[in-house]
Amino acid sequence: MSLPPDRFDFSDLATPSQPKASGGEPPSTAQEGGIEAEELISGPTGAVLAALVAPGAGSFFRRRGLSWSLLLLGFVIPLAAIAVAVIRRQNITSLVLDTTILLSVQIIAVLFVVTRVIAVVEVIRSRNEGSPRRLASWVACLGVIVLALPAVWSVVRSQDLVDAIDQVFVSSGSTDPLSMTQGDDGFETILLLGGDEGPGRWGLRTDSMILVTIHEESGRMAMISVPRNLSKLQFPPGSAMAQEFPDGFTNLTNAIYPYVFTHPEIAASYAQGNLQPEAVALASGLSYSMNMTIDDYVLINMQGFAALVDALGGVTMTLPKEIPLPRALPGSKTPNARSIGPGVVTMDGTTAIAFARTRKADSDYSRMGRQREILAALAAQASGTDLLSKFPRLTEIISWTVRTSLSTDEFGGLVDRVRRGAAINESVGLVPPLVNTGNPNYADVAMIIDALQNALRDNVDFPNA
């Protein structure tokens, strides 16, 4: 039946809940999918995704001040920080040991998350009351969680490293050298000490003693091994150890550290800020006996050194002959092979320590040469990428393995210099026939070291290397 002429047919008008397709038919499934896709791209969900990537971009035409603030704090600054890290990747050790930079990393990580939370909340609340928000809300929550995980990780790890720096880098409260015998000679000399004590125990015998001397102008370096059985070490007149041993220390040099450790009255006289007085006393004796300024020390528990080698993925060396190995230290993760070499060998921490300790292959003096070689190889092979990717584990190890009077800038600069290819130009051991360790003439020892430093300064070969 036809309708009266004054009545209108409303069947051709689509309702809000049922959009009308062409020809009067309801929308197909494909059309519904297109509407959802359009909503995902241009609706609140798309705006939320844009806010997660570049916070503030979606609110630029609504709240321009807020938009610029969010873009700056949540996008530009983090991007700039990444760019700086890439540009300065050759100095990555110095960067990760700078507590100011680590604090900045934590602040940037927090801003990275907070700006995105503010941005997505602003986007969702800005939609009309009837606009669908459920999908956008779920995307916002999931996106913030996903982006927050690496940010939280970076904050936690940065704080771990700050705590480790506070433990490892002890200070004397002064910029003066550890022990000075003369004015500025153009060299920086660092005493490396190693013993086989375990976590947190520092009353050790220093079976490994190496002086690293660096010509500051050219960067050329030399390593001088001090034998553990060096006798009659002298101390500056008037010092506590000189009063106790006026004719020189009556035991071997590697016993000085535990002697001072077990005599609190002597240790008190060598107190310098937070430095280990035992290391200060030993540096004082070496400096006075050899007439050379010692600027700083690095003290390493050798059991922890094995863990450091493992954390860095091992160390690779080329050995000219087969080297028999001793048994592994108690507590080692793996047993030792009976021997290693010849040829190219990659050593884990346990094997590296055994290689540095063994006397079966040759002598106590040759062992000192192997210690110098393994330190040089490890320093040269540790890349910036390794230090970054493995620094959570490294941080845990060095917190109980290493103590040093070097500042973080000095330590980081030294490691970066070696990692960039600075070579150990000369290497010498104060051993027979060069030095009679049982009855050394320390005037001759001082002349040897002076000649070595002159060779570095003049860039010529040292004949006794």
- Catalogue the E-assigned strands of 281-349: 296-301, 315-319, 323-324, 339-340, 343-347
The strand pairing partners of 317, in sequence order, are 345
Q: Which CATH number fits domain 187-458: 3.90.180.10, 1.10.3210.10, 3.40.50.1970, 3.40.630.190?
A: 3.40.630.190
Q: Tens digit of pLDDT for each residue in 226-269?
A: 998 999 999 999 999 999 999 999 999 999 999 999 999 999 99
pTM above 0.75, yes or no: no
Dist CA 465 CA 222 (whole Å): 10
pLDDT the model gives residue 393: 78
**Which amino acid type is present at position 352?**
A
Q: What is the mean pLDDT of the chain?
A: 81
Q: How many helices (H) and strands (E) does the chain have?
A: 18, 10
Flag the least confident range among 15-24, 84-93, 336-345, 382-391: 15-24
Dist CA 114 CA 98 (whole Å): 25
The answer to whether 298 and 189 are in contact (CB under 8 A) is no
Q: Which comes out higher in pLDDT, residue 52 or 97?
A: 52
pLDDT the model gives residue 132: 60
Beta strand pairing call for 343-347 and 296-301? unpaired
Length of the chain: 465
Tell me phi and psi for residue 138, to 5 degrees: -65, -45
Flag the least confident range among 264-273, 283-292, 320-329: 320-329
- CA 180 vs CA 165, 236, 363, 371: distances in Å: 26, 11, 33, 26
Q: What share of the chain is helix, strand, coil (3-state, %, to 5)?
A: 50, 10, 35
pLDDT at 410 over 80: yes
Q: Tens digit of pLDDT for each residue in 132-190?
A: 667 778 888 899 999 999 999 889 888 888 888 888 888 877 788 888 887 667 899 99
Burial 178-205 (b: 16+ CB within 10 A, else e): bbebeeebebbbbbbbbbbbeeeebebb
Q: Six-digit token pair at 168?
A: 């490892």
pLDDT at 17 over 50: no
Q: Six-digit token pair at 212?
A: 């690293």
pLDDT the model gives residue 96: 77
pLDDT the model gives residue 420: 60
Q: Tens digit of pLDDT for each residue in 119-132?
A: 988 888 876 655 56
pLDDT at 16 over 50: no
Query: Residue 386: pLDDT band by 50, 70, 90 thresholds?
Result: low
- Residue 161's nearest CA partner among 392, 382, 385 is 392
**Which amino acid type is present at position 130?**
G
Q: Six-digit token pair at 57?
A: 């971009």
Burial (0-12, 13-18, 19+ Cβ within 10 Å), 422? middle
Q: Where do the H-state alpha helices sit in 336-402?
A: 349-357, 364-381, 384-389, 391-401
- Most confident option among 91-100, 311-320, 396-405: 311-320
What torsion do the CA atoms of 259, 280, 454, 219 make, to the nearest 10 degrees?
Answer: 130
The answer to whether 230 and 440 are in contact (CB under 8 A) is yes
Q: Tens digit of pLDDT for each residue in 78-113?
A: 999 989 888 887 677 777 788 888 999 999 999 999
Residue 258: asked if its preceding bond is cis (omega within 30°), the reply is: no
**Which amino acid type is present at position 378?**
L
Report how far Cα 309 is from the mean position of its chain's Cα atoms: 13
Tell me phi and psi for residue 191, to 5 degrees: -95, 115
CB atoms within 10 A of CB 173: 9
The answer to whether 285 and 256 are in contact (CB under 8 A) is yes
Dist CA 41 CA 131 (whole Å): 14
pLDDT at 415 over 80: no
- Catalogue the E-assigned strands of 141-265: 187-195, 208-215, 221-225
Counting Cα atoms < 13 Å in the Cβ hemisphere of 252 gives: 14
Instruction: Give percent of the chain above pLDDT 90.
Output: 32
pLDDT the model gives residue 238: 94
pLDDT the model gives residue 373: 82
Dist CA 309 CA 453 (whole Å): 30
pLDDT the model gives residue 437: 92
pLDDT the model gives residue 363: 63
Domain positions in the chain: 29-168, 187-458
